[in-house]
Structure 1
Amino acid sequence: MANKKLFQEFTTVSSKEWKQKIQVELKGADYNDTLIWESLEGIKVKPFYHKDEFKKNTSVRTNVSTFKILQNIFVNDVEKAKEKTKESLNRGAESIRFTIENENIAIEALLESLPLESTIYHFNLKFLSIPFLKKLNDFATSKKGNFIIQIDPIGQLVKEGNWHENIEKDFQKINTITSESHFPVINIKTNIYQNAGANIIQQLAYTLAHLNEYFNRIPSINNQPITIEVAVGTNYFFEIAKLRALRILFNTLAKEYNHEFDCHIIATPTKRNKTLYDYNVNMLRTTTECMSAILGGANAIANLPYDALYHKDNEFGDRISRNQLLILKKESYFDKVNNPADGAYYIETLTDQLAEKALNLFKDIEANGGFITQLIEGTIQRKIKESAEKEQELFDSGKEILLGTNKYPNKNDRMKNELELFPFVKTNSRKTLITPVIEKRLAEKLEQERLAQEE
């Protein structure tokens, strides 16, 4: 009795039989026109996926139970940052990411009395400094610190339009830093592509091309893991598949360079669909986006506070965003199952299709000079802008819905007096080597109109 398989009394239904039954129920309507829809990536999504149409071509392991709850901390005042770190760790954070803009920050004072061996500390550096990295390296060695450095000169070029100094000096420094470091240094900031409106195929292909520049220019990159920052959007199953496809693509490319480490993925909810009005809905959006990140196999997740658009860093917003992850991990048991998407034909099929299309686009980028060349020529920026405009048109026409913003808005909402931060695209006139990739939210124009109408 114990070995008896369940549901043996039910006969197997083939894919063809399912389609025939559906066609009857449609009462003459066309199956393809009625039930198959096409994503912005050009992927046609079917109403069901069946075993007899599925071929297992790829394999990706997603150790969901190992993801870390990552707390972002901006370091300006060292003592305040240290106290916030201690409080965050006491309240459920499992890893810390320090963002540092000034190389004069006293590392010893910042890390004094923190649990160094049991906690991973990320250092998101906005500068390239060999002395600062040497200081970090020496400190980690003496105190047995578990550090991950996040340096990305190409990401600097993408976001700011300029290198830190110039291409030769930046790569000379990064080569020196990488060859002397005892911990991971290279970081790929891909979240800007999603936040600027690139579709998933573009995000994956640009990540791969971005990475390939480092493989070609930094010989010592093979000695350490590589960190990839990813922004997770609202298309739930597609985003799960995106992270899975990213690992497949990374491993495929890394194998060509004899790089034997798996990538370290840090996921954060996208800013693209976040809203100023009816801001509590942002909590729903970030929750499903964090779920996608977990199920897709992110190593660490830094949630986005619901009020991050218009409030400065504050304890309440941080606590709520951290608690969302704690609920998913500790109360929803997302830490109990590995590879939850394995065998889900829909997700497996999406993973294969995204990986294949992204690989083709990557090959096209390489055949036309590579990522940096296409940035300088403006090709990457133009393609992202075209994708962003398509999505913006869908939002403006009401076909893409943000609840509380372009669907069922609360006309009584007032936000003008709540703004501690400027929540729209900022213009900064300066001379740049390339046109930077600009992050922009879908709701910005609508929100500016509403703010102007407030009494």
Structure 2
Amino acid sequence: MTNLFDEFDGVSAKAWKQKIQVDLKGADYNDTLIWQSPEGIHVKPFYHPDDFKSAFEPIPGQPQQWEIVQQVFIDDVAIANKLALDAMDRGAEALLLIAENSFEIEPMFTGFDFSEATLYFDLRFLNLEFQRKLQTYLSEKQACVFYNIDLLGNLARSGNWYTNLKQDHEILDNLFSEFSSEAILGVDMALYQNAGAHSVQQLAYGLAHCNEYLHHFSNKKDLLVNFKVAVGNNYFFEIAKIRALRKLYSVLAQEFGMNPKCNILAVPSQRNKTIYDYNVNMLRTTTECMSAVLGGANAVSNLPYDAIYHKSNEFGERISRNQLLILKSESYFDAVSNPADGTYYIEALTDQLAEAALALFKEIEANGGFLKMLKQGTIQKKIKESAQKEQKMFEEGKLALLGTNKYPNTADRMKDTIELFPFVKNKPRKTLIEPIIERRLAEPLEKERLDNEN
């Protein structure tokens, strides 16, 4: 084959910039075409091989394939079992099982083919006896499981330990001594995104959060950590964020002589979801799932378009699952395992996010580590500051949510449709630390509209 481009001389980055400056007719190149993101990342109008001093390194732990995950909430075990089996029959490849209390284990998995699906747990309690039974049962079934026990994540979210610092750690230590080869630990980075942290903060806080566990379990050289990551609507930044997380974790794990690969479960952000013009949520979650796949998530669990105001329902769950099925089976998002590799813009973003996050991580460690700064309230304060800046942009119209603060349908009525309270709930209680609160951008505007509905 003949490469027709060989007939043309290469054009350097310097020549491109000179041409652009001529076309600007005196306007300043930096002020006109280079913009700065809220994270402080400078984005150029074009990227060129001259921008890179060396060849691109592969992303550590990049998966060869990704799994479609269906969420199932375990309340009534018989219903949950039926939903899980139905989801698997309809195309799900993994399950995210959520429970607030212990449940009957065998009835939950009646008829389940453990060789066909990965299991992710989000257990919002910590009970040693139940956890032992669960892990023993699933070990005997040779199931692929991520238990996602996250003591620090629970502290950050609720303001309290499950029981207390000593007892929580004793339970975790017991589980590691009895089930040393299993994926027990999880790091919930989604909390930071949904509370308003920008991408660099999410990466740095997630890494510092994980570092507390690596210090404690430094003798577990084959440790496999699962990160839960919320994906926002800044398409290319979100692709780069997931890639940067793998790079950063690899560097950190190697310092401990541990397995440099991690597992990533991606979910769409709740921060930009709305109750008005709710169908736009499907567009938002589609691009967010695309970012997750292209960034290299191991598994993607979609958010139903009506999840913030409707109880779980078959239609919403089916649509969310079908969005992923279309991406995988009809849009060929499973055809290449590393499509972002070598893309100048995304490679540059990946490096910039990783470098900025590493600098912030080092600052956290120099100040005593993540847990200490969480107890001091510093992490909460920084996330609040980032969230307030984003909220101001939304209120000024600089950050648009279609159907909400941009082109709203004034005839839209939602008051009689809402089944779940879609706003931050106030629960006065005594806490050890200030909890990190997840809050959607549209909440103040939606409250006003609901109050004014006829």
Letter of the 1:40 counterpart? P
Whether contact under 8 Å (1:122, 1:150) holds in the other structure is yes
Once the two structures are superposed, the pairs formed by residues 36-435 of structure 1 within 5 Å of their partners are 36-56=34-54, 58-61=57-60, 63=62, 65-103=64-102, 105-181=103-179, 182-219=181-218, 221-260=220-259, 262-435=261-434
Of 376-385 and 220-229, the range deviating more from structure 2: 220-229
8 Å CA contact 1:179, 1:220 repeated in 2:
no
SS in 2 for 1:416: coil
| Matched position secondary structure for 2:238 | helix
Distance across 1 between alignment mates of 2:53 and 2:232: 27
Question: Do the aligned partners of residues 110 and 359 (structure 1) sit closer, same or farther apart at CA in structure 2, a change above 3 Å counting?
Answer: same
Residue ranges of structure 1 left out of the alignment (5+ in a row): none
d(CA) in 2 for partners of 1:32, 1:441: 33
Measure how far apart 1:64 and its partner are. Answer: 5.8
Q: Secondary structure in 2 aligned to 1:186?
A: strand
Q: Summarize the Cα distance change of 1:271–1:204 in structure 2 as closer, same or farther, 3 Å threshold.
A: same
Provide closer, same or farther for how the CA distance between residues 249 and 233 of structure 1 changes in structure 2, counting only shifts above 3 A.
same
Question: How far is the alpha carbon of 1:101 from its aligned partner?
Answer: 1.6
Deviation at 1:384, TM superposition (A): 0.3
Q: Assess, with a 3 A threshold, how the Cα gap between structure 1 residues 384 and 452 changes in structure 2: closer, same or farther.
A: same
Q: Normalized against structure 1, the TM-score is what? A: 0.97
Of the three residues 11, 14, 18, the one matched with 1:13 is 11
Deviations 1:287-320 (A, max 9, x none): 0000000000000000001001110000000000
Q: 3-state DSSP class of the match of 2:154?
A: helix
Confirm or deny: 8 A CA contact 1:153 1:164 kept in the other structure. yes
> C-alpha offsets along residues 73-105 of structure 1, whole Å, 9 cap, x if unaligned?
0101001000001110111100011112212x1
- Residue 179 of structure 1: how far off its partner (Å): 2.1
Deviation at 1:6, TM superposition (A): 3.3
2:398 alignment partner AA: K
TM-score of the superposition, structure 2-length normalised?
A: 0.97
Q: Distance in 1 between matches of 2:136 and 2:111?
A: 17
In the alignment, the residues of structure 2 paired with residue 375 and residue 135 of structure 1 have an alpha-carbon distance, to the nearest angstrom, of 32
Match of 2:448 in 1: 449
Query: Which one-letter code corresponds to 1:128 in the other structure?
Result: L
- Taking structure 1 as reference, are residues 111 and 133 closer, same or farther at Cα in structure 2, changes over 3 Å only? same
Q: Is the 8 A contact 2:229 2:266 kept in 1?
A: yes
Paired with 2:224 and 2:63, the residues of 1 have a C-alpha distance of 19
CA–CA distance in 1 between the matches of 2:262 and 2:60? 12
The answer (yes or no) to whether the contact 2:159–2:433 under 8 Å persists in 1 is yes
Name the SS of the counterpart of 1:430 in structure 2.
Answer: coil
Matched to 1:222, the amino acid is: K
Q: After TM superposition, give the deviation of residue 263 of structure 1 in Å.
A: 0.7
Q: Is the 8 A contact 1:214 1:221 kept in 2?
A: no
Deviation at residue 24 of structure 1 after TM alignment = 1.7
CA distance in 2 between counterparts of 1:218 and 1:17 reads 53
- State the superposition RMSD in angstroms: 1.3
Report the 3-state secondary structure (helix = DSSP H, G, I; strand = E; otherwise coil) of the residue aligned with 1:268. strand
Using a 3 Å threshold, how does the CA distance of structure 1 residues 221 and 190 change in structure 2: closer, same or farther?
farther
1:111-157 deviation per Cα after TM superposition (whole angstroms, max 9, x unaligned): 12100122111222112222112212221233222222111010000
Between 135-144 and 324-333, report the one with greater CA deviation.
Answer: 135-144
Cα offset, 1:220, TM superposition: 5.3
Q: CA deviation at 1:65?
A: 4.8
Distance in 2, matches of 1:140 and 1:373, equals 35
Structure 2 unaligned segments of length 5 or more: list them. Answer: none
In percent, how many aligned pairs have the same letter? 56
Classify the secondary structure of the residue corresponding to 1:225.
coil
**Cα displacement string for residues 150-187 of structure 1 (whole angstroms, at most 9, x for unaligned residues):** 11010000000000111121111111112212421100
Tell me how far 1:242 sits from its aligned partner. Answer: 0.3
CA distance in 2, matches of 1:248, 1:388: 26
Q: Distance in 1 between matches of 2:416 and 2:382?
A: 37
Change in CA separation of 1:454 and 1:174 when aligned onto 2, cut-off 3 Å: same
Aligned length: 452
CA distance 1:5–1:145, change in 2 (3 Å): same
